[in-house]
Structure 1
Amino acid sequence: MDIIATTCRGKVRGRVRGGVATFLAIPYAAAPFGVHRFRAPAPVEPWEGVRDALEYGPIAPQRPYRPPLDQLIPEVDIAGEDCLHLNIWTPDTGGDAGGAPLPVIVWIHGGSLRNGSAAMPLYDGRAFARDGVVLVSINYRLGVEGFGVFPDAPDNRGLLDQIAALTWVKENIAAFGGDPARVTVCGESAGAVSIAALMTSPRAAGLFHRAILQSGPPQTVTRGQGSKTVRAMAKELRVPATAEEFAAVDRERLLDVQDAVVGRADPISGGPGFHIVVDDDVVPADPPLPSVDLLLGCNREEYRLWFVPGGAVDRTSRLTLRLALLKFRIPGRVARLYRASRRGAKPGVILGEMATDLLLRGPLNRLADSRPARTFLYEFAWRSPILGLGACHALEIGFVFDNLRHGESLTGPDAPQPLADAMHRAWVDFATSGDPGWSAWDARRPVMVFDHPGTGTVLAPRQEELRAWL
């Protein structure tokens, strides 16, 4: 059955199935091509009649992950220019609009700011709508189009896209049963890094009221640091490092060079990439402490997504480990502590565990310590049997969305449904009331550990190792 909703720009047609109304690819900004390329998002033109919102729309220009990640994180490829759009899943009221407005979750996908889209089947929001939450997933510009730093273009264009999408939600979500005064932003990896920036951005003030950071800490760089990738691409392209010159390059050629420059980089091993930069407009240099309620955490073995499938965990030698300690300026006493608690572990495992704590677990704990508002910490600990991935990066997403069927490339076919029930319920409860079901962060340092069997709260887990970094 079809259903019509009215937005500020025109009417859209969605579809109802199993008590959930779905609206796909509703534009929140003009297509970022032609005169709008490398510019801040522009308003979408109003339309006459009813616009179909029945199929996923185009994704932001990108190249797929390189093997073997392309098999573990399968992506969709939908060509087209209207990539700045969003999808909505909301309970079908059967024509009764008199009910109380529902809490809203806006999902911001990850992908190192160069991959991903809201069209990935894993991000289907049907389970959230089933449980009384309006789920919105958004696209935003990626790679050099969204986060390349140029002297003649606005910085953080992808972040500006996210702000435009959140503004759209504030202005329109009531037409879909959502409460614009109860919006939770939720993201994983680069999506969580984006939200951390949004929490301090004057441009995003008042657009959301709670936030969930999955495996992504606050992370910004200076404009000088952020421009390195553009300069490297310009050298390969043999053009000046300006937006005007990059816009004149064939898009396929631009994507090929982008992939050549940043394709092998990852959050753990490092390398050239794209970043959110401090620009004193969207992202302030001296950000205020955000006051929204916050749920945050990471997976116990984040590093294994990058270290295991390609064999790095086995190739890392003692010499490689020593060189990495020097590169990241890790004190010898820290390395000895990690070795002592992991007797017989391979050097690659020791390096990965330290990298996870240095880049994720430690910063997230420090963020919790610094906040005046309520904060809740979690750790995802269930270990996937696929390729020895363990509790790796991105593994928790299928559990959060209660969508294990579309997460099998990481979880395998026998992932525990009770764990999905528990984790999904915590996210629903946090979006609804601000309480996910365990104690807020305090001097005891409570962490909800999601595992199967054995989900429960642990006080100050691995505190000795985390303190060693201070």
Structure 2
Amino acid sequence: MTDTTTTLRYAEADTVTGRVRGFWRGEPGDGGSAAFLGIPFAQPPVGELRFAAPVPAEPWQGVRDALDYGATAQRGDPGVTLIPEPSVPGEATLNVNVFTPVPGETDAALPVLVWIHGGGYFAGSPASPWYDGRAFNRDGVVTVTISYRLGFDGFGWIEDAPSNRGIRDWLLALEWVQANIAQFGGDPSRVTIAGQSAGGGAVLTLLGMPAAQHLFHSVWALSAATADVAPATCERIGRDVAARLDVAPTRAGLSTVGEERIIAAQKAATEVSGSDGVTRLLEDGLTLGPAIDGDLITRPTLESIAAGVGADKPLVLGATEDEFSMVVSGAANKLRWIPLSLLLGKSGLKGAQRRAYLAANQDVVARGHAAVLGRYITDRMFRTFVVKAATARGAAPTWVYRYAFRSTQPGMVHDAAVHCIDVPFWFDCLDSPIGIDALTGPNPPQSLADQTHGAAVALIADGEPGWPAWSGAPGTTRVFGGATPGVDPDGYAAVASLL
């Protein structure tokens, strides 16, 4: 929450639904940045609108305060990300936050970044202090963070409800940007969408969606986790949730159930546990998220990309080297006694393929069995997808990277380039007072933030991030951090045996 007891310098801007009042951080015109928080782009998704497609926000009279983050769809932080993503109570959960150095300057025409948060499609928050756009504002980029319905409310199958309601929220938020961003100094013809984890999956889903093509002009996907839930799976989970709640799988039936019970049933219906839990997750993927519905999404994202959807848009994508190593790091002492052949065999990697994989990853083998298992999970869930997506794009302008910076923080993230570790470098927010050291370790290198954030600004402003494209020479990969930073001509060779 903004401390309104201190003296604020206000900023104002018009939107199609009314005027809003934000506040300055720093001095206008001298490196300062104005924040407009919690602006509604849709009516609160409650009552008759709970399981409906989003409805544009209603106009208001006078000047509306936009001084505090709006309500979030996340109810209580379940701790599934390593990013501080606070929950904010309230019903008006469909809102945007705008950060700009030039509010009201309609002729400024600055490039625009729209950020979609991650959290597995059931968690996460646009109110994270890490997502503050002040560094992008400093570098001439207007920044927007958006909210959307999560979990069952956003993506669950309901017999008589619109499908993919969370995606429809993304689309309406992006329509809001098109209609309003010029009033905040942004250029609606130069919008880059970006996100991490589920947010990375979101922007790739949008890239492969014909109905979204007019809403953005380039894409950066960090550690993308697409879902592409099959219709049968989506309906099975929806009926399971309704059965657990003892209601009909309809809007009328589910509308009688409170949020807490829905979330509990959703969690039970999608839980992956047991000795084969990891294997089933690797094989089946996510069971709640963007679904193939025959309407917004008619085929898997990779198929749409391979068919040329979004081929005119520059794309940057990549992954960290040890995304999910922390899942097994706590069991390192136990795993060291289990033969690698058995560990990897239980996860689906056997025979000649296993031998080829281990031969290509000797540096990871030297770090121990937990590191190998964590890397294999990472490769199956994230790094092979990077290669598949870049390959599917063919000659379309595509740049690929690897994030190799390893945390120095003791504990489950130690000595690994874990999930989320690239985000504070990408946003250049290493001076954030919350959560940085807990993920990166003390004194994370500002030089790496300069490189990472600089590449993001280059894509947003100029249409390319500053290293040779994969689409020009497949395999070409920018390596951020690690022992051998720079450009690797075959940066994902270590996953070749899994493709």
Report the TM-score when normalising by structure 2.
Answer: 0.86
Contact 2:325 2:375 in 1 (8 A): no
CA 320–57 in structure 1, closer or farther in 2 if over 3 Å, else same: farther
Partner of 1:205: helix, strand, or coil?
helix
| Larger CA deviation: 331-340 vs 207-216 | 331-340
Q: Does 2:381 correspond to 1:381?
A: no
1:332 paired residue number:
351
Contact 1:63 1:255 in 2 (8 A): no
Q: CA RMSD in A?
A: 2.4
1:21 paired residue number:
34
Q: Deviations over 1:179-229 (max 9, x none)?
A: 000000000000111111111212212100000110015441211112333
Q: Does 2:94 correspond to 1:84?
A: yes
- Select which of 369, 378, 391 maps to 1:369: 391
- Select which of 173, 178, 181 maps to 2:186: 178
Shift of 1:168: 0.5
- Select which of 206, 212, 227 maps to 2:220: 212
Q: Deviations over 1:156-193 (max 9, x none)?
A: 11011000000000111000000000000000000111
2:6 paired residue number:
none
The 5 Å alignment of 1:344-355 reads: 346-355=368-377
Instruction: Supply the distance in 1 between the matched residues of 2:99 and 2:186 (Cα, whole angstroms).
Output: 10
Q: Deviations over 1:230-282 (max 9, x none)?
A: 33323332333333322111222222333344466799972874121111211
Shift of 1:54: 0.6
Instruction: Supply the distance in 1 between the matched residues of 2:339 and 2:443 (Cα, whole angstroms).
Output: 38
Partner of 1:186: helix, strand, or coil?
strand
CA 90–452 in structure 1, closer or farther in 2 if over 3 Å, else same: farther
CA 258–319 in structure 1, closer or farther in 2 if over 3 Å, else same: farther
- Select which of 56, 59, 81 maps to 2:72: 59
1:145 paired residue number:
153
Corresponding residue pairs, total: 461
Shift of 1:99: 5.1
Partner of 2:187: helix, strand, or coil?
strand
Contact 2:84 2:129 in 1 (8 A): no
Shift of 1:345: 5.0
CA 349–204 in structure 1, closer or farther in 2 if over 3 Å, else same: same
Shift of 1:343: 4.2
CA 177–268 in structure 1, closer or farther in 2 if over 3 Å, else same: farther
The 5 Å alignment of 1:81-160 reads: 81-92=91-102, 97=105, 100-160=108-168
1:226 paired residue number:
234
Contact 1:239 1:245 in 2 (8 A): yes
2:84 paired residue number:
74
| Larger CA deviation: 397-406 vs 319-328 | 319-328
Amino acid at match of 1:26: I
The 5 Å alignment of 1:284-303 reads: 284-285=298-299, 287=304, 288-289=307-308, 290-291=310-311, 292-303=313-324
Contact 1:152 1:244 in 2 (8 A): no
The 5 Å alignment of 1:309-320 reads: 311-316=330-335, 318=338
Instruction: Supply the distance in 2 between the matched residues of 1:108 and 1:55 (Cα, whole angstroms).
Output: 19
Contact 1:16 1:92 in 2 (8 A): no
Instruction: Supply the distance in 2 between the matched residues of 1:98 and 1:30 (Cα, whole angstroms).
Output: 26
Contact 2:197 2:224 in 1 (8 A): yes
2:479 paired residue number:
449
- Select which of 402, 405, 427 maps to 2:428: 402
Instruction: Supply the distance in 1 between the matched residues of 2:63 and 2:129 (Cα, whole angstroms).
Output: 26
Instruction: Supply the distance in 2 between the matched residues of 1:193 and 1:438 (Cα, whole angstroms).
Output: 23
Partner of 2:242: helix, strand, or coil?
helix
Instruction: Supply the distance in 2 between the matched residues of 1:302 and 1:352 (Cα, whole angstroms).
Output: 8
**Sequence identity percentage:** 39
Amino acid at match of 1:38: F
2:290 paired residue number:
276
Amino acid at match of 2:86: V
Q: Deviations over 1:357-411 (max 9, x none)?
A: 2221112112112213211111110100222511001110000011122433211
CA 336–246 in structure 1, closer or farther in 2 if over 3 Å, else same: same
Partner of 1:4: helix, strand, or coil?
strand
